[in-house]
Chains A and B, each alone.
Chain A
Amino acid sequence: DSGVTQTPKHLITATGQRVTLRCSPRSGDLSVYWYQQSLDQGLQFLIQYYNGEERAKGNILERFSAQQFPDLHSELNLSSLELGDSALYFCASSEQLQETQYFGPGTRLLVL
């Protein structure tokens, strides 16, 4: 158990819908990262927050957005969902920037 929690564990929805994935970092960690893992692309970095502020952006689509709240939990919002958005979404956290990242168990999203 990494100490990072993610909800929900599984999510099934339809194309065009919007979903919110939630992540609670390890106690004391200020930085949160979101990754998408698909069979063809592997694990891809989406976005990073540090103490409530966005610090780095990766291959995140405009239909996706995220935020980190004052209590340090983070949410990833996915809208206008497409079949190709079906994937595992992981959250990771670290105490500070450029430190070891601890991954949560992931949310498996299936878009039908």
Chain B
Amino acid sequence: TQLLEQSPQFLSIQEGENLTVYCNSSSVFSSLQWYRQEPGEGPVLLVTVVTGGEVKKLKRLTFQFGDARKDSSLHITAAQPGDTGLYLCAGASGYALNFGKGTSLLVTP
């Protein structure tokens, strides 16, 4: 059973476009993390959100944690080819992380 559902599964856009990916769950998490994974490498942490309603910005990336701490979104402004990768959300459950299956993003020049 996948606790975290991510959508869309795949996204192909052109450089300069904006996009939003979603991470939804029926469970409440004490914190939620977003990772980016490139082929052949391990996931790299982008951000951790802890408080319901929290918004964090990382350059062109904006992360939002839902008020009920069950869902989150990642918005990328003016996407660049370097943003290409697999974006994973993960909810903290005890000491472990429960990951969604990810959104595979392709940004073409």
Q: Do A33 and B96 touch across chains, with their CB atoms under 8 A apart?
A: yes
In the assembled complex, the Cα of A13 lies from the Cα of B41 at a distance in Å of: 21
Q: Do A43 and B43 touch across chains, with their CB atoms under 8 A apart?
A: yes
Known interface pairs A100-B45, A100-B48; A45-B40 also in contact (CB < 8 Å): no
Q: Does A51 contact B (CB under 8 A)?
A: no
**How many B residues have CB within 8 A of the partner chain?**
21
Known interface pairs A56-B94, A58-B96, A101-B97; A42-B2 also in contact (CB < 8 Å): yes
Q: Do B42 and A98 touch across chains, with their CB atoms under 8 A apart?
A: no
Residues of A within 8 A of B41 (CB): 105-106
Q: Does B78 contact A (CB under 8 A)?
A: no
Known interface pairs A42-B101, A42-B102, A43-B88; A56-B42 also in contact (CB < 8 Å): no
**How many A residues have CB within 8 A of the partner chain?**
26
Tell me how far the C-beta of B40 lies from the nearest C-beta in chain A, rounded to whole angstroms.
7
Contact string, B94-109, partner A, CB cutoff 8 A, digits 1/0? 1111111110000000
Q: Does B92 contact A (CB under 8 A)?
A: yes
- A sample of 12 more A-B contacts (CB under 8 A), given A2-B44, A90-B42, A100-B45, is A33-B96, A41-B101, A42-B101, A43-B88, A43-B90, A45-B96, A45-B97, A45-B99, A103-B43, A105-B42, A106-B40, A106-B42
